[in-house]
Amino acid sequence: MKTTKTSSTDWSDPISLLVLDTVLSVSPSWLSPGTSVTLSCEVEHSSAGWRFYWYKTVPDLSGTSYSYELLPGSINGTEQDSYMIHGKTQTAGFTCRAGRGDPEYYTYYSDPKFVWSGGQSASASLTVNPDTVQHFGSKSASLRCDGNSTKWRVSRFTDDGFQRQCFFWGTMNGSTCNLNWMWYGNVVYWCESGSAFSNAVNITGQYNDGIILVSPVHPVTEGDSVTLGCKLRTQNVLSNVFFYKDNKLIQNDSRGEMSISAVSESDEGFYKCQYSGKESPQSWMAVKSSSSENSSFPVLLITGLVCGVLLIILLLLLCCYKQSKGEKFSDQFKITDVFLLLLINAVATEEFEIHKTC
C-alpha cells in the first residue's frame, strides 16, 4: 500500500517520499466498569518527529467502511504517541494517523481497532440464536440487532486479526445476519448503526467431531441462576459430564448439567466440559453487578452525609470553645479547653482528608 509522494520537495529525506502505514493498538480489548482505555499509535519503520491524530470511527452504512471524527484535544495532533479515554461504557472503534514536516504530510489512517463492551445499552443490542458461546462450525446461527435504528450492519473480528462485515461471511435479512457455518476459532461479533455500536459477544466455533460447552453469550447478572451444559453435534450429553472452571475440576458426578442457583462475582471465569475423553474449548462467563447503574449514588450520599455531620460538630465545638474561653482561671474549664482543642484538631484533620476525597 505504499505509493510515491510526488508533491514532496524535501528530496533529501527518503522517508518523506513514501506514505507510511500506522498501526493502532487499544488496551484493554474488553471494557469493565471504571477502566480507562489507552490508544497507542505506531508509525511503521519510523519514530521521530511525528504528531499524532486520534479519531473515533463512525459506521458509514452506505457501504462497508467508516468515517472518522477527531477526538477532543487532537485537532493539532498530540506529541505523545498514546491517548487515554476515560469513562467509556459502550463498544467503540478508533483509528489514528501521524503527520510531520512543513507543509505537514500524513501517514495512512491505521486499520480501525475496537474496545468492546459486553453490557447491553438501550440504543443497540445484539442477540445470538442459539444463545451459546460455543457453536459447531457446520451448524447455522443468527445474529439479530435491535435498538434505536432501522438500518444495521453486523461486524466481526476473527482471531486471525481481520475485521469484516456480514456482507462477506453471511446474509443480511432486515436487521438479522444469518450464518450457514461458523468460523473455527474465536470471534467477536457486534452490531453497528449510523450512530451506535451494540454490546459485543464472543463466539467460538468447534469441529464437528468435538464437544461444546453450552454457556450464555451475555454477562449473567449477580443473583440470577445459570445452567451450563455439554453437547455433541448430534445430541445433548445428559450424564457423567465433568465441568471445569479456570482449569480446576468443579463438578464430577453423574449429572450432565451444572447449575448455579445464585451467581456471584466469584463465578466469573473460564469454563469447559469433558465427556468420554472429549474436551470442549474453554469460554469466559462474565458476571455483571445487579446494581452497576446506580452504584455511585450511595457512595456520594454517604460521603455527603459524613461531611455534613462533621461540619456541624465542628461548628458546635467552636461555639462551645469560644464560650468557655470567657471563664478564665477556672481549673475545670482549663481541662475542657485542652480536651476541646484536641477534638477540634482531630475533626479538622479528618474534615480535610474527606474534602480531598469528596
Ligand X SMILES: *[C@@H]1O[C@H](CO)[C@@H](O)[C@H](O)[C@H]1NC(C)=O
Residues that bind ligand X (CB under 6 A): 30, 118, 122-123, 148, 173-174, 195, 201-202, 219, 242, 249, 252, 284, 286
CA 324 to chain centre: 59
Residue 127 grid coordinates: 442477540
Q: Which is nearer to ligand X, 249 or 300 (CB)?
A: 249
Considering the complex, what minimum distance in angstroms separates the CB of residue 252 from ligand X? 4
Q: Which is nearer to ligand X, 236 or 252 (CB)?
A: 252
Residue whose entry in the numeric block shows the C-alpha cell 457486534: 190
Q: Which is nearer to ligand X, 88 or 355 (CB)?
A: 88
Rounded-to-integer distance, Cα 48 and Cα 299, Å = 46
Rounded-to-integer distance, Cα 285 and Cα 133, Å = 9
Considering the complex, what minimum distance in angstroms separates the CB of residue 242 from ligand X? 5
Rounded-to-integer distance, Cα 272 and Cα 283, Å = 7
Strand partners, 43: 22
Q: What separation in angstroms does the CA of 129 have from each of 139, 229, 252, 285, 325?
A: 11, 16, 29, 17, 78
Q: Which is nearer to ligand X, 49 or 174 (CB)?
A: 174
Considering the complex, what minimum distance in angstroms separates the CB of residue 154 from ligand X? 14
User: Do residues 81 and 41 touch, judged by C-beta distance below 8 A?
Assistant: yes
Closest CA to 275 of 300, 243, 314: 243
User: Do residues 39 and 87 touch, judged by C-beta distance below 8 A?
Assistant: no
Considering the complex, what minimum distance in angstroms separates the CB of residue 285 from ligand X? 7
Residue 109 grid coordinates: 489512517
Q: Which is nearer to ligand X, 93 or 118 (CB)?
A: 118
Considering the complex, what minimum distance in angstroms separates the CB of residue 129 from ligand X? 12
Considering the complex, what minimum distance in angstroms separates the CB of residue 72 from ligand X? 21
What is the phi/psi pair of residue 220, to 5°? Answer: -90, 135
Q: Which is nearer to ligand X, 104 or 293 (CB)?
A: 293
- Which residue's Cβ lies closest to ligand X? 118
